[in-house]
A = this chain, B = another copy of it.
Amino acid sequence: MEPMIATELNPALTPVSFLLGTWRGEGEGQYPSIKPFRYREEIRFTHNGKPFLIYTQRTEAIDTGQPMHAEAGYMRLVGEGRVEFVIAQPIGYAEISLGRVDGRRVDVECASVGRTPTAKPVTAISRSFWMDGDTLRYELKMGMEGNAAIRHLTGTFRRSD
């Protein structure tokens, strides 16, 4: 199989085309139970001509470059600005998040978080991506054991290709 050739963007993706590309930046994490931390991050949104963005993300330690988190999924555009975001996380989560694109901003909230038996009891996740000039900003809120989602991760990115 040859590498994917350039393919015309599916018209359904026009509203989220501002996300396409590779984004690099830094983020910081916080949660009541942990010490705040910073990390380097890369986010990629690509496409293959179908009405979804292909999403991958990974973070690494700023000092050692050691891999930290990663995730992968698909952002489906299903009409009238509605977004369905399906994400797999190697810490044992399979997330269905739903929301909208509005201008250069996407907000989704989890409809379900499937968990493996050994995963932590995360029950709520919300994610926002928005453009601030040429900067992509990102926020993830998380809630454990039925509690409301509170701020966990924020990141700031510049386009790198």
On A, residues with C-beta under 8 Å from B are: 1-2, 4, 7, 24, 40, 42, 48-50, 52, 54, 56, 58, 60, 65-67, 70, 72-74, 76, 78, 84, 86-90, 92-96, 98, 111-118
Contacts and interface: CB of A to CB of B under 8 A. Distances in A.
A65 B116 CA distance: 35
A86 B90 contact: yes
Contacts of A52: 90
**DSSP class of A's interface residues: helix, strand, loop or mixed?**
strand
Contacts of A67: 4, 7, 48-50
A74 B118 CA distance: 14
A112 B117 CA distance: 11
Given A76-B116, A95-B114, A111-B114, 14 more contacts: A48-B67, A70-B74, A72-B74, A74-B88, A74-B90, A76-B90, A86-B92, A86-B116, A94-B94, A94-B114, A96-B116, A98-B117, A113-B114, A114-B114
